């Protein structure tokens, strides 16, 4: 299949490209600012994702069989800093992509987030049919995008909600362990919460699941994908440090309830993976598997040589 991937330089888009290439699909990607490092890319379109007329023209000319949208302002902090840009990229772009793919008969996979839910412990784990209730602007915009996608592409869309994602990003700065290690290398001692429960997935595993979804045109609607286990943020941080033989004292344990941050109450963002988990060959990855695949970001190798125990 001819597959157009937006966000190919990002943590998840890169892994999607690698997985699609392994399956022999023809890859077209959009390049924004960061270099594209995935293997097997056959054609690159140079356009900003907020330039909707130019992007629309490019997609119509290329007429892909499938389009995966992994482009976004992907951190809640960046969304708060630039809400107008975030609205254009996280809502207006997917709306337009839904319209064009519907028009062209192109399979459309759009990525969303567990943060469309409020994380209330009594309501977890969250099913794809549960009522969303986002607690921050990032989650609100992602929820708006989900609704736009399903409204404007009624034939062949998938909205795939993902959780906190592990992996090695192409630039070495975007995934959980990369952000953590960069903060430690800057001399910070990050506080991670022991009352924030997540169900992390890995970018590589998500890439395989999305590739199957590209190929499986019988699956439509909103689905959840995550890893096979839940873990607190603090315990995840400790597992990462242990994996790299770094001191456990490099991070400190905190409580979201005492932090003054929103949401203040304990946050439990776990998913029920039915019905997707029974329909794909890809299986959710264990935390051990996810962590064993992590590597030290290239920019931190000198620091790491000094810091490891």
Ligand X SMILES: NC(=O)c1ccc[n+]([C@@H]2O[C@H](COP(=O)([O-])OP(=O)(O)OC[C@H]3O[C@@H](n4cnc5c(N)ncnc54)[C@H](OP(=O)(O)O)[C@@H]3O)[C@@H](O)[C@H]2O)c1
Judged by the rule CB under 6 A, the positions of this chain that interact with ligand X are: 7-13, 30, 32-34, 48-50, 70-72, 74, 89, 111, 113, 142, 162-165, 169, 174
C-alpha atoms less than 13 angstroms from C-alpha of 68 in its C-beta half-sphere: 33
Give the closest residue to 191 by CA, choosing from 244, 117, 256: 256
Task: Pinpoint the alpha helices (H) of 158-224.
Answer: 176-185, 203-215
Among residues 84 and 309, whose Cβ is nearest to ligand X?
84
Among residues 43 and 258, whose Cβ is nearest to ligand X?
43
Among residues 44 and 308, whose Cβ is nearest to ligand X?
44
Among residues 34 and 56, whose Cβ is nearest to ligand X?
34
At its nearest, how many Å lie between ligand X and the CB of residue 241?
19
Among residues 249 and 293, whose Cβ is nearest to ligand X?
293
At its nearest, how many Å lie between ligand X and the CB of residue 109?
11
* Whole-number Å distance between alpha carbons of 211 and 38: 15
Going from the C-alpha of 264 to that of each of 27, 75, 115, 163, 271, the distances in angstroms are 43, 19, 15, 20, 20
DSSP-derived secondary structure letter, 60: H
Q: What is the DSSP string of 227-239?
A: -S--EEHHHHHHH
- Asked if residues 165 and 15 have their Cβ atoms less than 8 Å apart, the reply is no
At its nearest, how many Å lie between ligand X and the CB of residue 85?
7
Among residues 167 and 254, whose Cβ is nearest to ligand X?
167
- Asked if residues 41 and 19 have their Cβ atoms less than 8 Å apart, the reply is no
* Whole-number Å distance between alpha carbons of 135 and 264: 10
Tokens of 282: 């890809």
At its nearest, how many Å lie between ligand X and the CB of residue 249?
26
At its nearest, how many Å lie between ligand X and the CB of residue 154?
21
* Whole-number Å distance between alpha carbons of 75 and 151: 25
At its nearest, how many Å lie between ligand X and the CB of residue 71?
4
At its nearest, how many Å lie between ligand X and the CB of residue 7?
4
Give the closest residue to 165 by CA, choosing from 190, 199, 215: 199
Q: Where do we find the tokens 């157009």?
A: 4
H-helix or E-strand containing 11? helix 11-22
Among residues 169 and 211, whose Cβ is nearest to ligand X?
169
Among residues 113 and 232, whose Cβ is nearest to ligand X?
113
- Asked if residues 127 and 272 have their Cβ atoms less than 8 Å apart, the reply is yes
* Whole-number Å distance between alpha carbons of 108 and 131: 23
Q: Which residue is nearest to ligand X (CB)?
A: 10
At its nearest, how many Å lie between ligand X and the CB of residue 50?
5
């Amino acid at each position: 299949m001819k597959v157009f991937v937006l966000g190919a330089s990002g943590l998840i888009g890169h892994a999607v490209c690698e997985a699609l290439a392994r399956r022999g699909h023809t890859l077209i990607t959009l390049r924004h600012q960061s270099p594209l490092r995935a293997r097997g890319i056959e054609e690159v379109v140079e356009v900003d994702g907020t330039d909707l007329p130019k992007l629309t023209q490019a997609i119509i000319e290329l007429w892909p069989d499938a389009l995966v949208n992994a482009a976004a302002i992907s951190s809640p902090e960046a969304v708060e800093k630039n809400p107008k840009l975030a609205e254009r990229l996280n809502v207006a772009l997917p709306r337009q992509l839904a319209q064009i793919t519907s028009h062209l008969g192109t399979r459309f996979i759009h990525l969303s987030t567990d943060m469309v839910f409020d994380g209330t412990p009594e309501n977890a784990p969250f099913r794809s049919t549960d009522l969303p209730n986002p607690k921050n602007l990032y989650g609100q915009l992602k929820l708006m995008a989900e609704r736009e996608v399903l409204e404007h592409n009624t034939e062949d869309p998938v909205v795939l909600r993902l959780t906190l994602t592990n992996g090695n990003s192409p630039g070495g700065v975007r995934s959980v362990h990369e952000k953590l290690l960069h903060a430690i290398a800057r001399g910070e001692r990050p506080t991670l919460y022991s009352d924030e429960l997540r169900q992390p997935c890995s970018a590589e595993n998500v890439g395989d699941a999305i590739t199957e979804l590209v190929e499986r045109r019988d699956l439509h609607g909103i689905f959840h994908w995550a890893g096979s286990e839940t873990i607190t943020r603090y315990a995840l941080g400790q597992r990462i440090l242990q994996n790299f033989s770094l001191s456990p004292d490099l991070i400190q344990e905190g409580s979201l309830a005492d932090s003054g941050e929103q949401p203040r109450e304990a946050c439990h963002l776990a998913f029920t993976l039915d019905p997707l988990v029974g329909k794909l060959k890809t299986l959710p990855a264990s935390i051990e598997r996810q962590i064993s695949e992590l590597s030290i970001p290239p920019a931190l190798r000198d620091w790491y040589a000094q810091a490891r125990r």
